[in-house]
Amino acid sequence: MVATAAPHRAEAFQAAEFLMDYLKSRAPFWKKEIGADGAGWVAARDADEVALERW
């Protein structure tokens, strides 16, 4: 869960967007996939890195 607060809604949304971009590219616990062949952690994609660079 990502929670943010700000005086104005747009600023809170922007803060949440930054946190999501950061977590998707830097947090090792971000996403675990479980399938018939077992489980594994999903690595950051190039698009995740590009999204983070705008901050």
Predicted TM-score (pTM) of the model is: 0.69
**Residue pLDDT, tens place only, 2-54:** 899 999 999 999 999 999 999 888 886 778 899 999 999 888 888 888 989 99
The pLDDT score that the predictor gives to residue 43 is 83
What is the C-alpha end-to-end distance of the chain, expressed in Å?
Answer: 20
pLDDT band at 1 (very low <50, low <70, confident <90, very high): confident
Q: Give the start-to-end residue ranges of the domains of the chain.
A: 9-53
Query: Higher model confidence: residue 15 or residue 1?
Result: 15
The pLDDT score that the predictor gives to residue 26 is 86
Enumerate the β-bridge partners of residue 50.
Answer: none
Strand locations in 1-55, DSSP E? 32-35, 38-41
